[in-house]
Amino acid sequence: MILTGHQPNYLPYPGFFEKIARADRFLVVDNVQFVKRGTFGWMHRNRIRSNSPEGWDWLSVPVLSKGRFNQQILEAQIDPSTPWARKHWRAIEWNYRKAPYFKTYADGLRELYERPWTSFCELTCAFIEVLLRFLGISRTLERTSALGIQGESSGLVLAMCKATGADTYLSGVHGRDYLDVAEFERQGVRLLFQDFQCPVYPQCWPGAFIPNLSVIDLLFNCGPDSLKVLTRDRTA
């Protein structure tokens, strides 16, 4: 059984979902540190296509972190002082209203923005569940906190495999930087690394193709074919 896991991200990029599609089971790693910067600084934000000079804009969820430098993702709370949800939906609607499949997914996405969110983890998991459904990927979101899984780096991933009975773990490419391959071999767990290359597809603004935007860019432009586009050039 192939297992994969990831921190809950806001409006994740296509590679996030390609990794889930390749695995039999997916764990939301919610009891690790919430990070705003660096390699994992994409938890609370992502990019959408726009007519800006760069060709894209950030959408960032404001997360309260003052005085909570070691807070876990499941503890992170959304800052209620800014109307971020209304701004995000307006930006999405403005930039994608002419996309071929915007109307196909607009109602389901708008409904999420109309909910009163306080927990960052609950927000991101709800979005991930809806986006999985839009893509046609049938997976249950299970959380490491609910399964009592703890640890760091290789220890955490091996604990995830032990708790689920997985004999294979599919890691993102950055796992090469911190996972102990030899330890996985000793534990009898096969370790795979995703090498995701974003497929080229039509985008609704003129200009050069911009890869690795939020998966909603793929959905609004490719509709029911999005999963096929996402997995057509699959590599290990």
Find the domain containing 18 and state its range: 2-225
What pLDDT does residue 66 have?
Answer: 60
Does some domain include residue 75?
yes
| Residue appearing with tokens 């960032």 | 60
User: How many domains does the structure of the chain reveal?
Assistant: 1
Does some domain include residue 233?
no
What pLDDT does residue 70 have?
Answer: 78
What pLDDT does residue 236 have?
Answer: 41
DSSP string for residues in the chain: -EEEEE---SS--HHHHHHHHHSSEEEE--SSB--SSGGGTTTTEEEEE-SSTTSEEEEE--EE-TT-TT-BGGG-EE-TTS-HHHHHHHHHHHHHTTSTTHHHHHHHHHHHHTS---BHHHHHHHHHHHHHHHHT----EEETTTTT---SHHHHHHHHHHHHT-SEEEE-GGGGGT--HHHHHHTT-EEEE----PPP---SSSSS---S--HHHHHHHHGGGHHHHHHTT---
Does some domain include residue 216?
yes
Does some domain include residue 235?
no
Residue 58: beta bridge partners?
47
Does some domain include residue 230?
no
Does some domain include residue 231?
no
Does some domain include residue 184?
yes
What pLDDT does residue 69 have?
Answer: 62
The low-confidence residues of the chain, meaning pLDDT below 50, are 39-40, 235-236
Distance between CA atoms of 122 and 146, rounded to whole angstroms? 13
